[in-house]
Structure 1
């Protein structure tokens, strides 16, 4: 009890310091979405690898991987690599309620980081795959009860700015916005298909307001609108992301994530790929879109030296010194302040890194708006004709699964994963005339 009182006193002092700092910032130039590069970083603390329900697990017990010392080393590495950063801590149901000494201390540490650094503390339902194992009503109940627990844990009337979920259905995101007053959710994992425990390909990779029909679909109008900014889980190399699962011996999730980079290729080559994926958004992507965003999620249980995390963050700080490293909730609310509807128009261009599934001879172009997403691929070394590898219309009616299943993808006319016969890439010139008309309304230059 003495330790708890001491922590509360320290937290109060740190809270005052942090709030005073925030007020000083508020007196200066207000942070805006456009004209800035943003980095958001989430971490997951759990007891079991996949806590599919409050009382049911399908993964491995991870108690040994979750220690106070590991939490301290992790947060120190982030602050040393990128001073002044603010991250998002997401705790599973069991991590919020476990009564063992380690988890009590872990929760105290996380709360202290909120007051010391301004970190956000929140909940992750189902350990990424809530809707694959639970009804919509049960997920809503889990969100409600866990948010109360988080508020009690942090104290002072605290309320998280966002939820970390991996995937989260549109009905649950609507509940978050309308009943819980939370307007930012990491609710989709862009391009995920045939990997892990749930599929969810078909969405936009940058923020959008989801449709009431499907969380992968941007809202089309006011009646279809959910006031919850839907965020990707982690930034993926677009060329790797076009692959299906582990097809060809590669990993479709490769990008800035540590498992597919540092864990697969080691620190030197892994860091090179992480920086390549970061540069897609902070260099050319920044020029094309007016802002850049890179996001990552690093599970505390990962057997990867956090010095590599420090190196990646330090490299970002050196290459792009003006990057704003804030919580995903803060970033989502900045996007929400700028975009009142889905009037975005995102464009991305990438030439491969030559690492893993990121083919060095290929160039991919992505176009994403509320009406559709379009991906063009060609061999830039031979200057081959551009082929359409994805054309997903969002103006068509769709719906989410009524049952608990892993299949939550929104597959369009042509899907990048090539899991169906109709997904075979075609030359842009051979697209149906109706598709060309739809594309031409947004990008008339492509028709020329």
Structure 2
């Protein structure tokens, strides 16, 4: 193609640039995992608070909280802070099928955001707790039918890059990978125990391929490998996360989520905790792991001013201008392209923020790999060495519940929640011989 003038060439280049920006092009251009800070942001649109099955609810009706005006304000709050951000919208079964004017318009708006920004549109089965209330066969059927509805809704042969699930059994994640050709699932909520409607403590907090034995267990070899990248639901403060539910008057889910931060403590203090939890990963975590990831799920119905969302995202962009805000599916596929097996070796260090259950006088270190996860806790102001508060051996056999239940945790030799007599913090050399030998293979300095 010949250009009549330099001005014409520059004009065409500018059009191409801003067109890419409008489709999330700047964030979406990243093609490698390492060397980047990633933020994935999800939202949930539903009709009832907890749609445990297609025709059964156990929560509150939320129709009044789901309006086109709220959707518009929500998306604008994100674009105002990071114009090229791409997010993931997840619809419940009822939200996909509701025929009232508001839900029809909401679906139309979100399809428009997919075309404008590159947002992903997907399904959330069972409102986070599908396996607690449904058989695996029913969950598979819900996934298949919902994906067909979304494909028709968006058009053009569209398929989501991921599923939002809260918790998702290994059998259902295997179905996603092998039958639906979806290889990313937000399928665990790290450290959740004695809170909400399902437990699921015991997993790795960064991406991993789950084992066919249990969704909290990383696959050990090709014989138990599921080709579905399992993602955490939202980033929590590690010190808060070691607690059990609301024990001690604290919230174990405190981190980047708005319920436990700005709703609990107000804008200023809440934002401080959200930024503290973000920095655990974007500062020291980035140095230790070569990349960093923070994820958040902000339900559309939450009674929280969306200006708090703009504040958090703006603060992130100011402090870490290189942040990549892409869909969870894109992030999961970047991880999948880099890691062909569970060869990861994640490390995290946190000193408490002093807010809520994030003790200012404590330091926690986490080590997470295919073989085990290990957490060490120490009091910063005391000379005593750190003690083990969690050791979960993934090389041991695991099994998911055969019945519908809330109890889906994978509890190891010692678990951070201290729900059993054996879970009291102990010196590293008090662990079993098998545990110490396994740790020594990875970290000789710890064993010494």
- TM-score (normalised: structure 1): 0.94
Task: Provide the C-alpha distance between the structure 1 equivalents of 2:354 and 2:276, rounded to a whole number of angstroms.
Answer: 10
Report the CA distance shift for 1:29/1:181 in structure 2 as closer, same or farther (over 3 A).
closer
Deviation digits for residues 16-47 of structure 1 (CA, Å, limit 9, x no counterpart):
x8679779879x97521000000000000000
Tell me the equivalent position of 1:430. Answer: 430
Q: CA deviation at 1:374?
A: 0.2
Contact persistence 1:37–1:322 (CA under 8 A): yes
Task: Provide the C-alpha distance between the structure 2 equivalents of 1:406 and 1:366, rounded to a whole number of angstroms.
Answer: 26
Contact persistence 1:209–1:229 (CA under 8 A): yes
Task: Provide the C-alpha distance between the structure 1 equivalents of 2:265 and 2:147, rounded to a whole number of angstroms.
Answer: 38
How many pairs were matched up? 434
Task: Provide the C-alpha distance between the structure 2 equivalents of 1:239 and 1:409, rounded to a whole number of angstroms.
Answer: 19
Task: Provide the C-alpha distance between the structure 1 equivalents of 2:45 and 2:98, rounded to a whole number of angstroms.
Answer: 12
Tell me the equivalent position of 1:407. Answer: 407
> More deviation in 374-383 or 350-359?
374-383
Tell me the equivalent position of 1:9. Answer: none
Tell me the equivalent position of 1:142. Answer: 142
Q: CA deviation at 1:435?
A: 1.5
Tell me the equivalent position of 1:342. Answer: 342
> More deviation in 405-414 or 426-435?
426-435
Tell me the equivalent position of 1:152. Answer: 152
Tell me the equivalent position of 2:128. Answer: 128
Report the CA distance shift for 1:217/1:18 in structure 2 as closer, same or farther (over 3 A).
farther
Task: Provide the C-alpha distance between the structure 1 equivalents of 2:29 and 2:77, rounded to a whole number of angstroms.
Answer: 29
Q: Which runs of 5+ in 2 are unaligned?
A: 1-17
Contact persistence 2:24–2:84 (CA under 8 A): no
Tell me the equivalent position of 1:313. Answer: 313
Give the secondary-structure state (helix, strand or coil) at the position aligned to 2:239.
helix
Contact persistence 1:18–1:117 (CA under 8 A): no
> More deviation in 183-192 or 432-441?
432-441
Task: Provide the C-alpha distance between the structure 2 equivalents of 1:156 and 1:432, rounded to a whole number of angstroms.
Answer: 56
Tell me the equivalent position of 1:13. Answer: none
Deviation digits for residues 109-153 of structure 1 (CA, Å, limit 9, x no counterpart):
000000000000000000000000000000000000000000001
Tell me the equivalent position of 1:11. Answer: none
Contact persistence 1:202–1:409 (CA under 8 A): yes
2:397 matched to 1:389? no
Tell me the equivalent position of 2:223. Answer: 223
Counterparts of 1:32-111 in structure 2, within 5 Å, are 32-111=32-111
Tell me the equivalent position of 1:296. Answer: 296
Task: Provide the C-alpha distance between the structure 2 equivalents of 1:20 and 1:91, rounded to a whole number of angstroms.
Answer: 26
Deviation digits for residues 363-416 of structure 1 (CA, Å, limit 9, x no counterpart):
000000000000000001223211000000000011100000000000000000
Q: Which runs of 5+ in 1 are unaligned?
A: 1-16
Give the secondary-structure state (helix, strand or coil) at the position aligned to 2:298.
strand
Q: CA deviation at 1:431?
A: 2.2
Q: CA deviation at 1:428?
A: 1.5
Report the CA distance shift for 1:279/1:30 in structure 2 as closer, same or farther (over 3 A).
closer
Tell me the equivalent position of 1:7. Answer: none
Task: Provide the C-alpha distance between the structure 2 equivalents of 1:378 and 1:19, rounded to a whole number of angstroms.
Answer: 48
Report the CA distance shift for 1:77/1:219 in structure 2 as closer, same or farther (over 3 A).
same
Root-mean-square deviation over aligned CA pairs: 1.9
Tell me the equivalent position of 2:372. Answer: 372
Structure 1 ranges of 4+ moved more than 4 A:
17-26
Tell me the equivalent position of 2:171. Answer: 171
Task: Provide the C-alpha distance between the structure 2 equivalents of 1:30 and 1:316, rounded to a whole number of angstroms.
Answer: 18
Tell me the equivalent position of 1:253. Answer: 253
Contact persistence 1:18–1:116 (CA under 8 A): no
Tell me the equivalent position of 2:419. Answer: 419
Task: Provide the C-alpha distance between the structure 2 equivalents of 1:133 and 1:19, rounded to a whole number of angstroms.
Answer: 42
Tell me the equivalent position of 1:351. Answer: 351
